[in-house]
Amino acid sequence: MSNITRRRMCAWVLFLCLSLSLFCVVYPIYVIQPFRHQGAQELALALVVARFRPLLTTVSALAAVLALGGYWLVQARKWRRVLPSAGAALVIVLACLARINIYELMFHPDRHPAFTAVRDVKLDGAEKVIAVRIGGEARAYPIRSISYHHVVNDVVDGQAIVATY
C-alpha cells in the first residue's frame, strides 16, 4: 500500500471517528430538550444513542488515536499533521463530554418556590399546571416554569413533597 493511500485511509478513519463522536454527543442533546416536539422514533433513537455513547465515543477515540499514529508515520511534513491532530484531539474531548449528563447541569431543582394568591395569578386560561392538595393546603405549579427546573421541592400542609415534570 502506498503512503498516499495510507494517508487517505487514516484521514478517512479520523473523519469517521469525528463524525460518529459528534453525532453521539449532539444528537441526544438536540432531540431531548424542553419545548421541542419529539417524535417517538426520534426520541427512541436519541435514548439508544445516549445509552451507548460512552462506549461508542471511547472506541472512536481509540480508533482516532491509532489512525493519527498511522498518519504521522506516513506524513513527513509537520504542518500537514496539525489538522488530523486537532481532529483526534476533538474526538478525545467529545469522548469526555459524552460522560457528562448535560441535563443535570441545565436543570436544577427549585428549592424555594414562590407562590401567589389565586386572585393575583396571571396565567393563561389554557395553561397547564401540576396541582397538589394535601389537607387544607393546595399548590399549583405551572408547567411553563417547572419545565426549566424539572423538580420543585416544597412543603404542603407540613409534608415535604417533590413536584416533577
Do residues 78 and 99 share a domain? yes
Total of domains in the chain: 2
Instruction: Return the DSSP state at 60.
Output: H
Q: What is the pLDDT of residues 11-39, one digit of tens each?
A: 999 999 999 999 999 999 888 876 677 78
Do residues 57 and 136 share a domain? no
pTM, whole model, 2 decimals? Answer: 0.67
Q: What is the mean pLDDT of the chain?
A: 87
The DSSP element (H or E) to which 164 belongs, if any, is strand 159-164
Do residues 54 and 128 share a domain? no
Do residues 59 and 89 share a domain? yes
Do residues 139 and 93 share a domain? no
What is the span of the domain harbouring residue 27? 3-106
Q: Which residues pair with 32 in a beta bridge?
A: none
Q: Which residues of 119-128 are buried (b: 16+ CB within 10 A; e: fewer)?
A: eeeeeeeeee
